[in-house]
Chain A
Amino acid sequence: MSALLNVNKMTHYFGGLRAVYNYNLNIKPHQITGLIGPNGAGKTTIFNLITGVYTPTEGSITLENKSIKGLETNEIAARGLGRTFQNLALWRHMNVLDHIKMAHYSQLSYGLIGSFFNTSKCREQESRVEENSYRLLELFDIKQHADQIVTNLPYGAQRRVEMARAMATNPKILFLDEPTAGMTPDELGQMIKIIRKVHQDFKVAIFLIEHRMKFVMELCQHIQTLVFGELIAEGPPEEIQNNPEVIEAYLGKEDLT
């Protein structure tokens, strides 16, 4: 009940390849959910299916009890699903501030004519967006990079830009695809702090894919384990950690730290 996001019996095929099978998900407001599983299990595909990059072959997806299946990605994003990408997907010629401003796109109403003639409505909305963007930059500790082209930033900062950008869409649920991929243990600790802070300050629900168990166990209230596109276990962290199937299918082979 009172689920924010509900995915029911979702299945997806890529041609003949069954990438996701009979997948269910229930995200409650302000909950942090984790999705773990070996490489190629279909985790990113699940993100893409929910956010509308692909339309699932079968199953239903509802956000606040309204179906979002089949909508365009930008509409789904505007309804409150913000995301980051496993391999950074930043705009390589754009500076940091513009990244954050851009993500306010759906919140603008001045229209093309407004932008052509720089109407007062346009100026007003743009300055409001700019203000909000600076606030976000500060929060994610990248304000000092505001004018820099994003590709000139250190890796950790780029990850934070991506998160700040996702938050600028004003999401109800934040999807994080391996937010710590390629990070040093130091940066990892910092990332945990940032995610906690986002969770506290914005009161969002978070759905994250992660490889590192420590990270997932520390952050998530609920964890799903995916193998070959199918869920093999889900529950609170302690339960998952001790689930023999999970240990065999996933934890046994992978690095536990």
Chain B
Amino acid sequence: MEIARKFKNTFSNVPMLGWLLGVLAAVLIEYYWGYDYISYYLGLPKIPVLFGTLIMLKDPMMIPGVIGYDLIVYVIPILLIAKASNFFTNPVAAILEKTPLWLSAIIHLIFFYGVLHLWAGINDYRVLVVKLTMISIILTISINVINGYQGEFSCSHPGFMAIGAYISSIITLYFFVNDKTFGAAVLSPDLGPWLFPFALIAGGIGASLGSLLVAVPSFRTRGDYLAIISLAFMFIIKSAIENLNVIGGARGMGGQPDYAPLPIIFIWTMLCIWVVHNFVTSIMGKALNAVRDDEAASESMTVKTRKTKMTAFMFGAFWAGIAGGLFAHVLAYINPGMFSINRLAEILAMVYFGGLNSIIGSIVGAVSINVLGEALRPLELFKWIIIPLILILVMIFRPYGLISFKEINAKKLLRAKHKREQGA
């Protein structure tokens, strides 16, 4: 505890910019010396992909090497650079603070993306993990709108995702790809990447409309009944697709063009965070909370509760549809079995682990479960004992999840930290 406090004190004057700079340094070190020098001298076969957890679990002899690697490449450079650079990161942050918040946010995001791109670029596996993690972030935020902010127990998310995945895949395959199901491309494939957002949005809208089937019953029931209705919805979507042979039936549908590279997914993820954040911090969005906490009181305070519930479902489903579309184009293959109970368990785990009613919570949940899932992969089956156990512990000690009922405060997050020092 004492150490933690000291640590916090030492680094309390490092602004976000400083941390980003530190991470950049670490990534550059890995990029230039990671393979040739550092992992070589530490006796590691290659650059550890996910901070070495994979190698460590496979071969315990590698543990010292991995720890050394993480210290040399990540921990020490990040801390050093972050602390040492604050003589100029703080003034820069102060200058950015004077610009409009959106501009400062965009500058930080571009910087962040650059670092992420470099880090992920080390190998394809990292790229895939990062892509899937970001899609999970969208999914988790979107289910949080329904299960957290609106407080329903909805199990239909894989269904919404499936609708989005299939609709957008059908559009891109039909218009931009020569394939055996839909024949020759209708439009020039060159247009594909530019029109891809519309395909995604069409998928999102499809999912939104589908969600009405769950939203309308939610006017009259909630809790367990809604859980069943939404579960039935999920199974119906799944088996409807299984029976639609035009789109591949149970065998699935493949060959989606690669329209979802890292930057595109990053942009969609940030867009999702921004829009959902705007919504849930506005009065319109807080109406979801009001309806959740006391429907009768909300009605009496002029809140249109039905419209509010419908909005929550349609809005959440829309983003699930977007996530589904991105997912389909990352994997370039989907089948109905991907959108069933297992996916549901994963999505529920992410949102309840991370925290209800909080976007940061959702980000934390999605990233933790994804990274944990990848990192523990060498444990094979035991992974499915450890992750559920962790989740049970979280439920016992933090029933609403790790970070709940907390919103992002961009201004506070990005501001310069030097004033604090004098104040304290």
Contacts and interface: CB of A to CB of B under 8 A. Distances in A.
Co-assembled chains A and B = yes
B294 A89 contact: yes
Nearest to A162: B297
A89 B290 contact: no
A64 interface: no
A83 interface: yes
Interface string A226-255: 000000000000000000000000000000
Contacts of B304: 72, 74, 105
A91 interface: yes
- B contact face: mostly helix, strand, loop, or mixed: helix
B294 A105 contact: no
A112 B285 CA distance: 9
Interface in B291-319: 292-294, 296-305, 311
B283 A101 contact: yes
A115 B286 CA distance: 11
Question: Counting chain B CB atoms within 10 Å of each CB, which of A52, A89, A110, A115 scores highest?
Answer: A115
A53 interface: yes
A108 B284 contact: yes
B181 interface: no
A91 B298 CA distance: 9
B293 A94 contact: yes
B278 A117 contact: yes
Interface string A66-108: 0000001110011000110100011111100010011111101
A89 B283 contact: no
B278 A129 contact: no
A11 interface: no
A180 interface: no
Given A91-B290, A93-B357, A72 B283 contact: no
A90 B297 contact: yes
A90 B282 contact: no
B289 interface: yes
Contact of A101 (B278, B286, B302): B286
Contact of A112 (B289, B294, B311, B405): B311
A77 B279 contact: no
Contacts of B300: 51, 53, 73-74, 77, 82-83, 85, 89
Interface residues of A, number: 40
A83 B296 CA distance: 11
Highest count of chain B CB atoms <10 Å: which of A52, A102, A122? A102
B287 interface: yes
A91 B299 contact: no
B274 to A, nearest CB: 8
Interface in B45-60: none
Interface in A41-75: 51-53, 72-74
B319 to A, nearest CB: 11
B273 to A, nearest CB: 12
B275 interface: yes
Contacts of B297: 85, 89-91
Most buried by A among B283, B285, B303: B283
A22 to B, nearest CB: 26
A169 interface: yes
B283 A116 contact: no
B282 A122 contact: yes
Nearest to B314: A112
Contact of B303 (A94, A102, A115, A166): A102
Contacts of A129: 283
Nearest to A91: B293
Contacts of B311: 112
A165 B299 CA distance: 13
Given A77-B301, A77-B302, A102-B290, A115 B296 contact: no
11 contacts: A74-B299, A74-B303, A89-B297, A90-B293, A92-B294, A94-B293, A102-B283, A105-B303, A112-B279, A114-B282, A114-B284
Interface of B: 275, 278-279, 282-287, 289-290, 292-294, 296-305, 311, 357, 405
Q: Would you list the 7 A-B pairs with minimal beta carbon distance, nearest first?
A: A106-B302, A91-B293, A89-B297, A73-B299, A115-B282, A115-B284, A118-B278
